A and B are shown apart, each in its own frame.
Chain A
């Protein structure tokens, strides 16, 4: 301190001393006005200000601390192993880079597509995010709503703590589902009751799911406590959330909801009841449907009576459809599929579907059966309606639409689904397979993966360009079993001249191999060391 004063003092001493005893504020005031209107020279003012500036800086003291933030709740989950942490940092650093949108994507893997996989796998291992990466994860969650649940779950309590401090991340507080460990124990009646009464909607939906998973009959009991005071759109959403884990325990509640004030609520209750084959509504629908359809032919209903209306049948058909066909479709779709065996003299689903149907009614009837099979999750009927995967698509029983097939496929077991799609690809190639591949379980089963690779290889030999198959290529990068990388190496390494489709294919296969290797590394890194 003394040295400083001497240093500055010697430089200022040469001039007059008019400003030497003034405070800093007085000096600033004098400088604003100008020395013209004051005694003393500009040099004296600048000299005194220099001394004060250095003195003030040298003598700075800490400020009074403001209120400290509440410490973040402890997150008991472990951090991922070090290599996995590095990988996440790398994926987050590269997140904005890829997806430049050009047709040719080079041989390097697309990191943007690997981030979702990393997040999903880390979630399965029950990790929490490294603290230093939580802000980047929150930014990802803000930018990509498809990744939001996973990114927020990984960010955990530290993420919610940060979100309360930064308005940019407020969205994380609204979601609710990301708040790991925020729900009360289902045994804690007081906690459940309080959250049900006071919680945000998303929290209440999550709570309902938790309570039902614990005890099926407890869900309707919880709903009944406040049902009459809920808004119509909330009643609809609550009903919709019952779809997961729907059971006979929900029937009385749903039956009561058939008399709801809101038409949408009534329709949803009816739809859910019809998915319960043992429900009274399903029985009533079966009676009506059996009266219309049988071995002797199809006789659609002539009237939509009050009972049908109460059971959720919509009276007015959409434009372009006859009302009798419209009613018939709704009855058949809501009737339990099990009722048809007796009606058709003990025949199985495949035989029933194969029966000739009276003129004009086949399409209507088969489409209704498809909807019923999807709603009731009936694999046997789905299989029958899907028919043979290798048959020409148009020959299928009223299931020419790929979207419908994809829905039917999702009711089959994993293996059966993969086998069916593999057969479809071998018979029809890749051009129509995209939607069907989307419902297969990841990583793809061996036979399915091989069918896709073979089909890509044939597409190359047929002289196509890889970007015509970019959708399937992208899916393959995400879904192929990394164990297939070895098989692809041969395709990637095939010698080619510069330019031309072959070079592009080689590049595309290289990228596929690189991505699979990276995916495999990514999963290995996430596995905790034993």
Chain B
């Protein structure tokens, strides 16, 4: 599984692209045309020279174990179009050295690869960047100050919520968003970004259409629950206290559990913040041995995509460090032991009922959890549309569902939801199924099931939806 010969699919390579423009530019460089002196090593690296418009070709190297990239082009995108083109070339045709032996990397590639190898060999603690606090007393004081500020913010928010419920939600449709935006700003001042985000969300609900009062009451109640939990956090059991802290947006106080496993990448997708400045990338993993789900988040600053990219269907042997709290989902990837390589096994799915039970069980650890990662199957997608209602009827449009292949149970598929997944992915899902059963990975929560990846019954190749 470690050979450079285990190639990725074109989809997996294109999933690395930071944006659409790079995806297109990379695809155009994915033929032999502009490339020369290409090669690959058994330790999982590929390199090549790409002819650009200048007289000197660009030098491109990719370390597949990261994956990490280096290119002499001036682009500030990672990976750049040359790295993508090189990977596509490798995906399509392989870059085997003559006579099937692994070629030695040219100097310019070898130096960088050696540097990376040396860095990887250093002890994990040194690399983790989590500096041991030099001034424990100072850190404790800072934490106390912050706790006090959050306490003030929480008390203020409680007041705001009480006012809301005392006066009645009915006025909210007219009240507008500005008042909540102001409260959110106060929460930012109070250094509670988790509360700020929830308050902002709360403010958008009255404009969300029918059923908004119930949704608003739910969100207000959960916010109230979080406020109360913070005010009594010292009395809570450790895992729940850690969950409350992370929901408020505080860094974990302790290191979590480290789990070494073969991590299968089940999904990767980006969402933009409401102001479009910050991109959040969610990567869902599942330990093939432990069966444990893991959510790795990465963030892209304004105008830049997140740096971490793990294409769907790859397996990486690595250590995942789980953050305390939040039902044990959030993880950071630590040391990796082998280059990422495609996986040829399809995870086993569960029924719709079992999926909801898994979500329900996870709520015990984290009552604020929106959804839980679930492999569902075999299920049949039922496309929404006009087939439910007669022509001219107002309620003609029906929602999509995923139904158990056997029996009558189904989960609704939200057209917009936490991830705001585009409908294009749903049509791809329908195309894959053709009315038959398949296995689907997605997020299962109180809004329904959001499909992210699918496997056809006769294929082990995962298809990233959307």
User: Given the complex, which residues of B lie within 8 Å of A107, measured CB to CB?
Assistant: 33-34, 51, 53
B12 to chain A, nearest CB (A): 10
Give the distance in Å from the alpha carbon of A35 to the alpha carbon of B34 in the complex. 72
Interface centre among A57, A89, A106, A166 (most CB of B within 10 A): A57
User: Given the complex, which residues of A lie within 8 Å of B33, measured CB to CB?
Assistant: 107-109, 510-511, 513-515, 517-518
Contact B165 A42 (CB under 8 A): yes
Total contacts A-B at CB 8 Å: 256
User: Given the complex, which residues of B lie within 8 Å of A134, measured CB to CB?
Assistant: 431
Interface residues on A, range: 35 or more
Main secondary structure, interface of A, reads helix
Which of B360, B404, B432 is A65 in contact with, Cβ under 8 Å? B404
B71 within 8 A of A: no
Give the distance in Å from the alpha carbon of A34 to the alpha carbon of B411 in the complex. 34
B88 within 8 A of A: yes
| Interface-side segment among B38-46, B130-138, B351-359 | B351-359
B144 within 8 A of A: no
User: Given the complex, which residues of A lie within 8 Å of B21, measured CB to CB?
Assistant: 97
B197 within 8 A of A: no
Give A36's nearest chain B residue, CB to CB.
B166
Give A79's nearest chain B residue, CB to CB.
B459
Known: A27-B217, A46-B224, A49-B218. A521 touches B31 (CB 8 A): yes
Main secondary structure, interface of B, reads helix
Which of B10, B24, B25, B356 is A60 in contact with, Cβ under 8 Å? B356
A131 within 8 A of B: yes
Known: A498-B55, A513-B33, A521-B32. A165 touches B430 (CB 8 A): yes
Give B432's nearest chain A residue, CB to CB.
A131
Q: In the complex, which residues 1-39 of chain A have their Cβ closer than 8 Å to any Cβ of chain B?
A: 1, 3-4, 7-8, 10-12, 14, 24, 27-28, 31-37
User: Given the complex, which residues of B lie within 8 Å of A507, measured CB to CB?
Assistant: 53
A175 to chain B, nearest CB (A): 18
User: Given the complex, which residues of A lie within 8 Å of B106, measured CB to CB?
Assistant: none
User: Given the complex, which residues of B lie within 8 Å of A221, measured CB to CB?
Assistant: none
Give the distance in Å from the alpha carbon of A87 to the alpha carbon of B218 in the complex. 48
A181 to chain B, nearest CB (A): 15
- A-B CB contact pairs (8 Å), 21 listed: A8-B225, A11-B232, A33-B170, A46-B165, A49-B217, A50-B221, A53-B217, A54-B225, A62-B352, A66-B388, A67-B387, A68-B380, A86-B9, A108-B33, A111-B27, A135-B431, A165-B387, A507-B53, A514-B33, A514-B34, A517-B32
Using CB atoms and an 8 Å cutoff, list the residues of chain B in contact with chain A: 9-11, 14, 21, 23-25, 27-34, 51, 53-55, 88, 91-93, 158, 161-170, 213-214, 216-218, 220-222, 224-225, 228-229, 232, 240, 352-353, 356, 359-361, 363-364, 367, 380, 382-383, 385-388, 398, 401, 403-404, 407-412, 424, 427-428, 430-432, 434-436, 445-446, 456, 463
Using CB atoms and an 8 Å cutoff, list the residues of chain A in contact with chain B: 1, 3-4, 7-8, 10-12, 14, 24, 27-28, 31-37, 41-43, 45-47, 49-50, 52-54, 56-72, 83, 86-87, 89-90, 93-94, 96-98, 106-109, 111, 131-132, 134-135, 158, 161-162, 165-167, 498, 507, 510-511, 513-515, 517-518, 521
